Structure 1
Amino acid sequence: MATQEQDAYICRECGAKVAPDRRYCVHCYSPVGRGSSRAHVDLARETATTHRPDPTLVFSPEKHEEIVRRARSRKRIAIAGIMALLIIVAGSIVLSTVNRNRRETQRTMVREQAAHRDLNTVAEALERFKEDVRRYPTNEEGLACLIRKPAALRQDVAENQSAWFGPYIDNLPEVDPWGNDYVYRTPDGGRNFELFSPGPGGESGSDSRFRVGSQSSY
């Protein structure tokens, strides 16, 4: 036992006893020993490497902690960069969707307002037509008689109690903002009328949200 203790090496860095068959201190990882151990260290220092000037420093706890700390720092930076990129991409997608929905809503509102405005304008012209002619246009005459005198009314004013004093509208809208024709019809030969736009859904008659009639307030 005493012989083993005498043969043991003493670490010059931390003073710990190291077994003679060890090349490095198990406490501080410093190289110890004689002869072949020192030759090993010298050979390692002479070995060319592109990673570090002294390969023996890999066993230094301080160096090891520094390497681990740098690796963790790079990992945190990479994760933060990826998260920031994902947030930017997600924000761009959400913003684009919100803007697209807002523009679509605005276009829908503008079209609906234009449809109501056209219907009210034509309905007012129909009322002025009725004041002069004593009836609304027939289905055969249609809305065209608001800007052109119908053939049935091309008679001498003295022979008729009614007369056409148009045009009753400057610009007659023919299609609604969705590209559909405005529909005019009278079910009783001109005593009442119904004017509507099929709208975006193609509704007809009383089902249409864009509708005026002789009994409607507009």
Structure 2
Amino acid sequence: MNTGTSKLRGFTLIELLIVIVILGLLGSLVAPTMFSKVDSSMRKTASAQISNFETALDTYRLDIGRYPDRLQQLRVGEHPNWDGPYLPKEIPTDPWGNEYQYKKPGSDGRAYDLYSLGKDGQPGGEDDNEDIYNQ
């Protein structure tokens, strides 16, 4: 019969604290980089959606002979030459949940302006809050 005591070895409190501190330091170095990538990808998503809108708007113009007065006309139309819908799904919001801005006629002699107000949902701004325009 084994009469010896079994020794269970675990981690000491100081060892656990050291591991927690190391994980915290790693997290503080990695997290800012990852969050900046998220904001950058949201701006790229908005630009890609604007490009899709531009294609739909150009196709609408080819069929009807003019650009629509409202983006909703890309989904539903009453004109005899309307051959839509020109967007496969409902009109999306920008990556921050705001409506895209569409103005016809556009500024500087352009046929229309199409843009996102950026992260803050307000005109103007800098960095992530900057408006994203069609080119």
Aligned partner letter, 2:87 = I
Residue number among 108, 117, 128 corresponding to 2:39 in the alignment: 108
Q: 1:85 to 1:167 in 2, by over 3 A?
A: closer
- CA shift, 1:204, in A, is 2.8
1:211 and 2:113 matched: no
Residues 63-97 of structure 1 show CA distances to partners (whole Å, capped at 9, x for unaligned) of xxxxxxxxxxxxxxxxxxx8x88875553322111
What CA distance in whole angstroms lies between the structure 2 residues aligned with 1:165 and 1:202?
Answer: 33
Residues 96-141 of structure 1 show CA distances to partners (whole Å, capped at 9, x for unaligned) of 1123213312321221221111110011100111111111111xxx
What CA distance in whole angstroms lies between the structure 1 residues aligned with 2:84 and 2:51?
Answer: 18
What CA distance in whole angstroms lies between the structure 2 residues aligned with 1:204 and 1:131?
Answer: 31
- CA shift, 1:187, in A, is 2.8
Equivalent residue pairs, number = 115
Give the equivalent residue in structure 1 for 2:85. Answer: 167
Give the equivalent residue in structure 2 for 1:137. Answer: 68
1:125 and 2:60 matched: no
1:193 and 2:121 matched: no
What secondary structure, in the 3-state scheme, does the structure 2 residue paired with 1:97 have?
Answer: helix
Aligned-residue Cα RMSD (Å) equals 2.6
Structure 2 residues not aligned, in runs of 5+ = 1-13
Flag the structure with higher helix content.
1
What secondary structure, in the 3-state scheme, does the structure 1 residue paired with 2:115 have?
Answer: strand
What CA distance in whole angstroms lies between the structure 2 residues aligned with 1:168 and 1:125?
Answer: 5
Q: 1:115 to 1:125 in 2, by over 3 A?
A: same
TM-score normalised to structure 2 length: 0.70
Structure showing greater Rg? 1
Structure 1 residues not aligned, in runs of 5+ = 1-81, 155-162
User: Greater relative contact order: 1 or 2 (C-alpha under 8 angstroms, separation 6 or more)?
Assistant: 2
Residues 34-55 of structure 1 show CA distances to partners (whole Å, capped at 9, x for unaligned) of xxxxxxxxxxxxxxxxxxxxxx
Q: Which runs of 4+ in 1 moved over 3 A?
A: 84-91
The percent identity for this pair of structures is 28
What secondary structure, in the 3-state scheme, does the structure 1 residue paired with 2:102 have?
Answer: strand
Asked whether the 8 Å contact 1:122–1:172 carries over to 2, the reply is no
Asked whether the 8 Å contact 1:118–1:173 carries over to 2, the reply is no
What CA distance in whole angstroms lies between the structure 2 residues aligned with 1:114 and 1:178?
Answer: 10
Residue number among 202, 205, 208 corresponding to 2:121 in the alignment: 202
1:146 and 2:74 matched: yes
TM-score normalised to structure 1 length: 0.46
